[in-house]
Each structure stands twice: as structure tokens, then as C-alpha cells.
Amino acid sequence: MILSDRRIREEIERGRIVIRPFRKECLGSNSYDVHLGPYLATYSEGALDARRDNPVDEFRIPPGGFLLLPGQLYLGVTAEYTETHAFVPFLEGKSSVGRLGIDIHSTAGKGDVGFCNYWTLEMSVKLPVRIYAGMPIGQLIYFEVSGEVENPYDRRSSAKYRTVSAHPARSRMFRNFPPRRRPGRR
């Protein structure tokens, strides 16, 4: 079941949902609008390797905006910090953003119970589009969980994105692989 605006406000008052900064005008009938933070990042190398910690170049979005180009992956971040202690948050693009041909996430639209951080966006575009820090970019939707959560994200030792940062987080897929052995060593 999706939480209504009234229920989202109640859960914020109870501390089971945290949104900072919270602005009541961003609360829709069953979602909360989030905004693009000031930072973008792109991977520094043309080919990525899932076993490596691929470097990124991060920059601040200029006041006059930044032109996103097709064929490039951009890592963005929400301006809002969120915590979700009893619900499953989903981040979806706003329809106005989609109508500009902007995708805000490749596959990572679902959060976990216990996620406490800013949201990194995996952004791509169909056509060149100028974007601006602070523009509405997505909406958070909260789903109820059936049953007790035994292992929330903020308490899992394997959670790769627990370090709180208002900057885009690059992929940490490399942590899923065992360390490579060097040739000649046992």
C-alpha cells in the first residue's frame, strides 16, 4: 500500500520518515517532490570495469545550468537528505522531467528500510537538456512493509552506501567481488 500525504506527515512527526529540508508545498497527494542537488559527476574513463573503483570527475552545477548530452551517464544527487525507518521508499522521475527526456535512474529506484542518506541519481537524456541545481527532479513514494524487518539497511555490514554524503556516490559494485590474487601467490 502507498502512503497518502496525511500518512507521510504523520510518519514524519513520528520520526519513521525523515526529509530534510521538508517543505509542505512539496508534499503531493501520495508522494514528496525532491530536487536536484548542486553536484554532478561523470566517470573519468570511457570504459568502466565492474571489478574496479572507477574514478569520477565531480563538479558543481553552474548558476546558468549545465547541458546534459545523450550518450553520457551523469551521477546527480538529491538536495534532500532522507531516512526511512519503517517503509520502502521508491524514487521516480517527475512527469515533467520525463517529458524533457531525462531519466533519473537506470535501475536503482527502490530504497531499503533503513536507508539514511541523499539519493544518488543515475541520469541520462534522449536529447540535450539544460538542468539547474534546485529544480524538481523526482518524487518519493513510500510503501508499507508486510512483516517485521530483521536487517534494515543502516545496520547491515554489507551495505555499500551508508556513508552520508551530499555528493553523488559512484558505483561500489567492486565490493561484491572477492579480492583478486596476484599471479604466483597462494
Residue-wise pLDDT tens digits, 59-112: 999 999 999 999 999 999 999 999 999 999 999 999 999 999 999 987 777 888
Tally of domains within the chain: 1
Give the mean model confidence (pLDDT) for residues 124-152: 93
The domain in which residue 113 lies consists of 1-43+61-137
Confidence of residue 134 (pLDDT cuts 50, 70, 90): very high
pLDDT of 150 over the 90 cut: no
The per-residue pLDDT for 159 is 73
Q: Which of 40-44, 54-58, 176-180 has the lowest mean pLDDT?
A: 176-180
Q: List residues with catalytic annotation.
A: 122
Is 119 inside a domain boundary?
Answer: yes
pLDDT, residue 182, reads: 66
The separation between the first and the last C-alpha atoms of the chain, rounded to the nearest angstrom, is: 52
Q: Is residue 145 part of a domain?
A: no
The whole-angstrom separation of Cα 90 and Cα 124 is: 19
Q: Which one has a higher pLDDT value, 134 or 161?
A: 134
Distance, CA of 21 to CA of 33 (rounded, Å): 11
108 vs 117: CA distance, rounded Å: 14
Q: How many other C-beta atoms can be found within 10 angstroms of the C-beta atom of residue 73?
A: 12
Greater model confidence, 73 or 162: 73
Asked if residue 71 belongs to a domain, the reply is yes
Q: Which of 19-23, 43-47, 104-108, 110-114 reaches the highest mean pLDDT?
A: 19-23
Average pLDDT over residues 135-154: 90
More confident residue, 62 or 151: 62
Whether residue 50 is contained in a domain is answered as: no
Confirm whether 146 is domain-assigned.
Answer: no
Query: Average pLDDT for residues 146-160, to the nearest whole number?
Result: 79
pLDDT of the residue at 61: 98
Alpha carbon distance 13, 27 (integer Å)? 14
Q: Evaluate whether residue 125 is within a structural domain.
A: yes
Where is pLDDT greater, at 151 or 138? 138
Cα–Cα distance measured from residue 113 to residue 131, given in angstroms and rounded to the nearest whole number? 30
CATH number for the domain spanning 112: value is 2.70.40.10
In a domain, residue 88? The reply is: yes
Look at residue 174 and tell me if it is in a domain: no
Per-residue pLDDT, 57? 97
Residue 116 has pLDDT above 80, yes or no: yes
